[in-house]
Each structure stands twice: as structure tokens, then as C-alpha cells.
Amino acid sequence: MQFVDSDRDISLYIHIPFCTTKCAYCAFYSLERSAVASGEMEAFKRTLSLQLDALVEELKRPFYTIFIGGGNPGMVGFEYLHELLKTATRYGRPVECTTEMNPEFLDEGIIPLFDILTRVSVGIQSMDSGFLGILGRNADRETNIRALSLLSDCKKKYGIQFNADLMTCIPGQKIEDSLADIEAVSAYSPDHISLYSLTFEEGTKLVEKCTPMDEEEQRRLLLSCWQRLDELGYRQYEISNFARDGHECLHNKVYWSLGQYIGLGPTAESSVGYRNIVSSREADSLSQYLASPSFDSVELTAEEAEEEYLLTTLRTVYGIDKREYEKRFDRRFDERYGAFISDLDSELYVDDDAHFALTVQGFLLLDSVILSLAMAI
């Protein structure tokens, strides 16, 4: 693939744009089953298979990580997902291979995929059926329990890792409600828990029927949840992600370090290169993708690449490696940002000769911190 830095690892993301119904908060591109015309899903599967095969043959090397997301990948069936994984690993296995899965689609049919899959990320969101209703989920508490039980058993029998997604700051949710979700999910010993603060995206159903939680209430809720996850052994390594030691999601760490990845499927994004970053996006709809699966690519300016670097790396506890920054952008971090950092509240960050990173308090004010630093660019 043009612009790929052949000396660096490259990861693969595959977007499956189908859902039974669309969740109330979802702003990702996906189509409800009722909106998919007859034959379109099969056409999508053929197109994606051909596109993946061509990419694999062009690269002729293993991907560092593979992640299948959506939408709901379960919509295309375990057999087809297995075919995709076999194609993607033709030239070798990745260090990590993950698929997302909705709880209502999880059953023992996933077990044959464990010859390639190393990780399953299940969208629990809440263990409270009332809050699941607000979010527009198709699963209820009992369905979530069945999915978690299955993954817990598979972890013991097959050695796979699993992640449970949770959502907090749901309208009407109290601290004790969110802590109860954490307790219920952690009882099944997932290796990783993602805790997302509910966002109200323009054009979603959620905006029409609910109002966001007060910001101060959100702050208290998040701090309580972060503390409890830490007490349970889940270390925060990114604003919304917590893992037991050695079980961080490597694929997402590629994103947060501005590594190389290729995305296939409608609206999937790619980023390749190192000093010169080329960003690409697939067709904006299923119909466009079926007509012509191709990338709309643009080379980022030096300023755009640096802004992207700030936006991604400062989401993590590792923050910015100053030697890596200098290697990538050919300038010293302290000379670029020192004066702007000195204007920040010292409780928001840690800064030494090798790294600059945000504290927990800094995470709560991430957008304003990045805006302050971006003034230096």
C-alpha cells in the first residue's frame, strides 16, 4: 500500500457496519438490519473479502494487531469472521487479534475462532436493564450475564483474554449505580475494563430524549469509578481504559501512539507513515463502498500531525516520550511547549527530562489542556 513505512509495524482494523438496531448514543456509521436492502450484506462480505485479500497480498507480512469492530461483527456470522481472520493471517499471526461482540450474539459458535482470536471485547455498557433501555441496547441484564459467563469459561479453557465495555454518566445514574456495574462485571474476572463517559452526539436518538449529566456530577462519578477500578487491580492506562498488568489493548495503543494502521469497510480510517503522516478514509456509506471500495487520502501538514500526536498520546498515562517526539518532529519538546506548560496548574501534569504526561486531574480537563498546548503549534 502506498505511503506505508515498511520499517514499522502495521495494524489492521475491519469495520462491520451492521446492527440489529442502532443504540441511542451511537454516532459511528452503522445500518440497522431493517435499512439493509436484500443482498447488500452478502455483497458487502464479497467486497470486503476481495479487498482484504488484495491488501494481504500487497503487504505480504503479518499485521502487528488485528481488530474487528462495528456496528456489531456478530451480524455477519462466526463462519465469515473466521474466513476473514484466516485471510488476514496468511503471512503470520498478529501479536493480538480482537473482535468486538454484542452480548446477545455471543454463544459457543465463537469457540472455533480461538485458533486465531486472542481477545474478545463485549459491549456490556450496564448491568441495569433500566439504563440499558435508556441507551437503546438490545441486551438486558440476563443476556449480559450469559455473555460474561461464557467468556469467563472460555478464558479458563482456551486462554483467551476478554474486555468488558461499560458506560457511565448515563442520565439518572448515581455513583452507587455505576459502582454496582463495576462490581458485577469484575466478578467474572475480565482482563480489561473500558469505562466510557456517555457523550451526547449531534444526530443521535439520545439527544432527542435526554439531557447530559451535570459536569460536576460527572467528575465525582468518574473519580469514584476510577478509584474503585484501581482497588480491584485494573490500572488506568488511558482515560477510558483499565487493565490488569500486561493486559492492555495493544491495538488501541497503536492509535494512541500515532502508529500505522489500515482500516477496511465503510468509513474506516487509516493512518500510515512516520514523519509524513497520510490519513485515509474509506467510502462514507455502504452503497458507495460497494460501488467503489477506495481510500480518500490526504497527507497531514506538519502542524496537523503534531496536533494529532498531542490528541492521542496525552490520553494515556505514558504521555509524550520526549525523545520520540524529537525524532518524529525534529524539534525539542521542552523548547516548543515549556512556556505553555508553565502556565498550567502543576496538579494537572507530571514533567521530567524524558516524559510529559497528565495526571488524573489533568485527564478530567484534557480538552482545555490540549487547547492550551496547541497554541504553541
**Beta-strand relationship, 65-70 and 269-272:** unpaired
What is the sign of the dihedral through the CA atoms of 219, 221, 226 and 227? Answer: positive
All residue ranges of the chain with pLDDT < 50 are: none
**Beta-strand relationship, 241-243 and 320-321:** unpaired
Predicted local distance difference test score (pLDDT) of residue 316: 98
Spatial contact of 333 and 356, defined as CB atoms under 8 Å apart = yes
Predicted local distance difference test score (pLDDT) of residue 1: 62
CA dihedral 276, 279, 280, 284 (to 10 degrees): -160
Predicted local distance difference test score (pLDDT) of residue 2: 66
Predicted local distance difference test score (pLDDT) of residue 57: 96
* Closest by CA position to 289, among listed 71, 80, 4, 121: 71
pTM for this entry: 0.96
Domains of the chain and CATH, by start: 10-253 (3.80.30.20), 317-377 (no CATH)
In tens, the pLDDT along 76-111 reads 999 999 999 999 999 999 999 999 999 999 999 999
Predicted local distance difference test score (pLDDT) of residue 8: 95
Give the Cα separation of 174 and 171 in Å (integer): 9
What residues have CB less than 8 Å from 360, skipping those under 6 apart? 223, 226, 236
Give the Cα separation of 3 and 277 in Å (integer): 8
> Could you tell me the CA-to-CA distances from 307 to 258, 350, 357 in Å, in that order?
11, 20, 15
